[in-house]
Amino acid sequence: MLPDDAWAIVTSCTRALAEARLKAVGLAAPVLVTADDVRRGKPDPEPFVLGATRLGVDARRCVVFEDAPAGLASARGAGARTVAVTTTHGAADLRADAVVGDLSRVAVDVGVGGGLVVSAG
């Protein structure tokens, strides 16, 4: 499990909808950035820059998991590394540092010095 200060949800939906969806699956995000929090949404970098800021880190130290071209463009614009998930778009439509079919084979662990290590197997 990730430490609470190590992850955020950055979504293009409204806060009310995001909170309803998270409640439905029993998930509480330590940081939640929604369309209500930004002036310019994805593909602008603002949502991911804000998410990183709220986590207290530079966006260039973040890894973003995204399933949409606009979200990947937003993350790249913020300087984050990207992992595309092909659950809503095909791999050919997703420009990312890595591409996975889904998150079932992705692992995120705390590494030496407290950084996170992302691997896909």
pLDDT given for residue 121 in this prediction:
64
Instruction: Report pTM.
Output: 0.90
Backbone φ/ψ region at 113: left (φ over 0), alpha (ψ -120 to 50), beta: left
| CB of 83 closer than 8 Å to CB of 106 | yes
pLDDT given for residue 120 in this prediction:
76
Extract the residue ranges of the chain whose pLDDT is less than 50.
none
**CA 13 to each of CA 34, 82, 91: distance values in angstroms, whole numbers, following the listed order:** 6, 20, 23
**In this predicted model, what pLDDT tens digit does every residue of 60-85 receive, in sequence order?**
999 999 999 999 999 999 999 999 99
pLDDT given for residue 100 in this prediction:
94
pLDDT given for residue 62 in this prediction:
94
In whole numbers, what is the pLDDT of the chain averaged over residues? 93
